[in-house]
Amino acid sequence: GLAVGFWALLLLASLALHFLIVPRIIDWRTEIEAAASKAWGVQVSIGQLESVSDGLVPSFEVTDFVLRDAQNQEVLRLPKLRASLSPASLLQLSLERIELDGPTLEVQHSADGSWRVAGVDIGVGGSSAMADWLLRQPALHIQHGQLRWVDAFNQQAAVSLSDVSLLMHNGLRSHDLRLDATPPADWGQRFSLQGQFKQALLNGHASDISTWQGHVYAELPQIALDKLAVYARALSGVELMAGQGWLRAWADW
């Protein structure tokens, strides 16, 4: 009887998603903008919002999703975002899956050592409401992205990465990530970074990466060593002068 009741409840929740909740998403655009702005501490605007029910899991699509900082400067633009909902994700106040196509993002390492992603402060050992929310989502997939890396802390010139692909899968305490990107031609060829992490059991903020433990793997074909010199010196004290080659590295975090 309990099993039958559970499956009946699950069926009712699925029907509600398909026919009541997702089709009315478009009516809640203003409320979604206001709630996201308040929760994340940035200004959120949505160009268009429409429901898509072309499978077992209903979805909605957002075009021109934009974040602006306190100075009203655009720090993130998502031309297209697709999110999927399921009964289980509703119970967890999360989304079943988030897909981003063609996002443009800036990551800053400021001269004072602070970090900003899309205009949002993220401190190592600290937390961010927006990052916490993203790290609670079961699946995040990004393709065809553009990323601008600004490292004022190490006094390096800004670097633009193209065709960025990110796969992230999050569990209750686990985070598996893979990043593939194409650097400028003078840096080398397309590279890949992968990581598998567990966070502390009693840590309330997923974005507090100082409590993470795990493994990191990097594969950098034909990388220009002089471009890595400042980072190799900071992380390991190794001095890299010049050269070009293929690099694979494994590390414990």
- Following DSSP, what letter does each residue of the chain receive, concatenated? -HHHHHHHHHHHHHHHIIIIIGGGGGGGHHHHHHHHHHHHTSEEEEEEEEEE--SSS-EEEEEEEEEE-TT--EEEEEEEEEEE--HHHHHTTS-SEEEEES-EEEEEE-TTS-EEETTEE--TTS--HHHHHHTTSSEEEEEEEEEEEEETTTT---EEEEEEEEEEEE-SSEEEEEEEEE--TTT-S-EEEEEEEEE-TT-S-TT-GGGEEEEEEEEEEEEEHHHHHHHHHHHH-----S-EEEEEEEEE-
pLDDT of 2 reads 46
The pLDDT value given to residue 249: 86
pLDDT at 239: 72
pLDDT at 4: 43
Maximum Cα interatomic distance, the chain, rounded to a whole number of Å: 71
CA distances from 216 to 122, 148, 192 (A): 20, 22, 11
pLDDT value of position 56: 56
One pLDDT digit (tens) per residue for the chain, 253 residues: 544 444 444 445 554 554 555 556 667 778 878 877 777 777 888 888 777 765 556 677 888 888 887 778 777 788 888 877 665 555 555 566 788 888 888 888 888 877 777 766 665 544 567 777 778 888 889 999 999 888 888 888 889 999 999 999 988 889 999 999 999 998 889 999 999 999 877 666 777 777 889 999 999 888 888 877 777 776 666 676 778 888 888 989 8
Question: Distance of CA 46 to CAs 15, 40, 135, Å?
Answer: 27, 15, 22
Please count the other Cβ atoms lying within 10 Å of the Cβ belonging to residue 210. Answer: 11
What is residue 122's predicted lDDT score, i.e. its pLDDT?
65
For the entire predicted model, the pTM comes to 0.71
Residue 240: count of CB within 10 angstroms of its CB: 15
